[in-house]
């Protein structure tokens, strides 16, 4: 696979924003601006010649806006990953959900409106996302290496990246996964009837969850709790969008909400969600510090699920950048619960499920198309346990 920097197409109607975003992209040795476009129409015209591996897209543009571009991209079968970088997202969660439904991989809010001179405050997040999506795209298109720009000398940068990767940003030391998978070791505890399915997901998650929840039966017979990395103000609309296509009842979680059979609770943005079992299983919301750089955090969810539900839980880790959820998925396994991980081929970013797999915390690794059926089968098989 080529070591050339990932080629990025920047699409924004503001010349200032194109310049500032371009400087962020070019500031990292692993990314490079392939070109810029002032709206979706120009972007479509440039894709074939520029051959970008990631597109950074504004939503509010003249002539062809971001939603219209994503619609045309989908119709043309273009699979280049898209990061929405927009201010309209802050004003309209529905528009953002529409963008994700049309295939955008993730979104980042411009800090202070459509022309944000402080765009540098999201530079780290943007670069991390671009590099993860670029790596996945290049893995799926290995034959394109011959047309990539010349390789830069990045030896020192890579060494520095490896050194800095040991910190998580929240005072914790990150666990470095092994180079090859650790064998899965189940404890002697047998799985019991599944009372709760807990799902952790990040980049690429909205579309992946749409597919899963559209396929789950309305009589699943247990509760479901989801951590999808998403900022505050968006999870209410996200839950509504899932509820419209799912036989299950999907809502954004509120403090003290009960765990209901055939009900789904989505962790609200900027709040951890924690399980409480006993005679009345319910959830608590928490503003405790970020974990693995996230709030809500899948590790926080899985840790409480393991503690409160033990062998009556099923943990699922899906597409996402980083490693959130990978460690504590193992806690569910060690308490006798069951675990599922999304496979590499169908993950938008094979980060979280990859680390969980390498740590030996994933019992069943399955493609996205089989996750709903696998959840249903395991719940049904263990119903009489």
| Active-site residue (options: 86, 202, 297, 331) | 202
Q: Which of 16, 251, 351, 6 is nearest to 148 (CA)?
A: 6
Catalytic status, residue 229: yes
The distance in angstroms from the start CA to the end CA of the chain is 48
Distance of alpha carbon 235 from alpha carbon 87, whole angstroms:
17
Distance of alpha carbon 131 from alpha carbon 139, whole angstroms:
12
Distance of alpha carbon 37 from alpha carbon 45, whole angstroms:
9
Answer yes or no: are the C-beta atoms of 5 and 30 closer than 8 Å.
yes
Catalytic status, residue 141: no
| Active-site residue (options: 98, 257, 299, 324) | 324
CA distance readout (Å), 186 to 17, 18, 197, 308, 343: 52, 52, 18, 19, 20
Other Cβ atoms within 10 Å of 187 Cβ, number: 11
| Cis upstream peptide for 244 (omega within 30°) | no
- Backbone dihedral angles phi then psi of residue 358, each to the nearest 5 degrees: -65, -30
Distance of alpha carbon 35 from alpha carbon 46, whole angstroms:
8
Beta strand 6-11 with 31-37 is parallel
Distance of alpha carbon 251 from alpha carbon 207, whole angstroms:
17
- Name the strands in the sheet holding 54-57, side by side, starting at the edge strand that comes first in the sequence: 31-37, 6-11, 54-57, 82-86, 106-109
Distance of alpha carbon 209 from alpha carbon 12, whole angstroms:
29
Distance of alpha carbon 21 from alpha carbon 271, whole angstroms:
30
Answer yes or no: are the C-beta atoms of 200 and 339 closer than 8 Å.
no
| Active-site residue (options: 98, 168, 229, 294) | 229
Find the DSSP H helices in the chain: 15-26, 40-50, 66-76, 88-91, 93-101, 123-140, 155-164, 205-215, 235-245, 298-309, 326-334, 352-358, 368-381
**For the packed helices 205-215 and 235-245, what is the interaxial angle rounded to 10 degrees?**
30
Q: Which of 279, 304, 276 is nearest to 291 (CA)?
A: 304
Write out the catalytic residue numbers: 202, 229, 324
């Amino acid at each position: 696979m080529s070591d050339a920097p990932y080629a990025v197409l920047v699409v924004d109607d503001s010349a200032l924003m194109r310049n500032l975003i371009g400087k962020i992209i070019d500031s990292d040795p692993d990314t490079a601006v392939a070109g810029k476009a002032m709206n979706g129409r120009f972007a479509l015209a440039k894709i074939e010649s520029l051959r970008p591996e990631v597109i950074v897209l504004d939503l509010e543009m003249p002539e062809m806006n971001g939603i219209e571009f994503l619609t045309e991209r989908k119709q043309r079968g273009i699979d280049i990953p898209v990061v929405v970088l927009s201010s309209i997202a802050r004003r309209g969660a529905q528009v953002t959900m529409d963008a994700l439904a049309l295939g955008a991989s993730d979104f980042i809010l411009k800090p202070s409106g459509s022309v944000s001179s402080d765009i540098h405050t999201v530079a780290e997040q943007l670069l991390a996302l671009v590099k993860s999506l670029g790596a996945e795209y290049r893995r799926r298109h290995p034959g394109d290496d011959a047309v990539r720009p010349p390789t830069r000398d990045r030896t020192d940068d890579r060494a520095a990246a490896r050194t800095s990767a040991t910190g998580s940003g929240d005072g914790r030391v990150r666990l470095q996964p092994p180079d090859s998978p650790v064998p899965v070791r189940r404890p002697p505890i047998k799985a019991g009837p599944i009372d709760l399915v807990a799902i952790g997901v990040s980049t690429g998650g909205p579309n992946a969850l749409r597919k899963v929840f559209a396929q789950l039966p309305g009589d699943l017979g247990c509760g479901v709790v989801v951590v999808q990395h998403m900022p505050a103000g968006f999870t209410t609309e996200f839950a509504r969008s899932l509820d419209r296509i799912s036989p299950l009842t999907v809502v954004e979680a509120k403090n003290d909400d009960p765990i209901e059979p055939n009900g789904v609770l989505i962790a609200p943005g900027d709040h951890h969600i924690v399980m409480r079992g006993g005679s009345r299983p319910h959830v608590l919301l928490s503003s405790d510090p970020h974990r693995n750089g996230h709030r809500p955090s899948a590790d926080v969810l899985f840790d409480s699920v393991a503690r409160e539900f033990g062998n009556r839980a099923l943990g699922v880790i899906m597409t996402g950048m980083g490693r959130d959820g990978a460690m504590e998925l193992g806690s569910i396994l060690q308490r006798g619960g069951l675990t599922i991980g999304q496979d590499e081929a169908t993950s938008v970013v094979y980060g979280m499920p990859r680390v969980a797999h390498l740590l030996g915390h994933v019992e069943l690794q399955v493609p996205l198309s089989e996750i709903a059926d696998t959840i249903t089968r395991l719940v049904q098989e263990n119903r009489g346990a």
